Amino acid sequence: MIIKEPLYCSHCCTEVKRQLIGSNVFYYCKNCERITSAKEMITTIINDNGVKTCA
């Protein structure tokens, strides 16, 4: 069983909605209307947890 935790906008801390456009995954914030790619979202989560990455 996979437990999905909600993702939040890094700018306004509102829960984001997953959007599939073609074969690309994006996350849309209804509050501040920002769109973030899945790659940017994952990189932000990893960096916020203190893991050093080179992307």
pLDDT of residue 55: 45
Ranges of each domain in the chain: 1-46
Of residues 7, 9, 27, 6, the one with CA closest to residue 18 = 27
- Overall average pLDDT of the 30-52 stretch: 74
| pLDDT at residue 53 greater than cutoff 60 | no
How close are the terminal C-alpha atoms of the chain, in Å? 30
pLDDT higher for 33 or 49? 33
| pLDDT at residue 50 greater than cutoff 80 | no
Residue-wise pLDDT for 1-38, tens only, equals: 566 778 888 888 889 999 888 888 899 999 998 888 88
Topology annotation, domain 1-46: N-terminal domain of TfIIb (2.20.25)
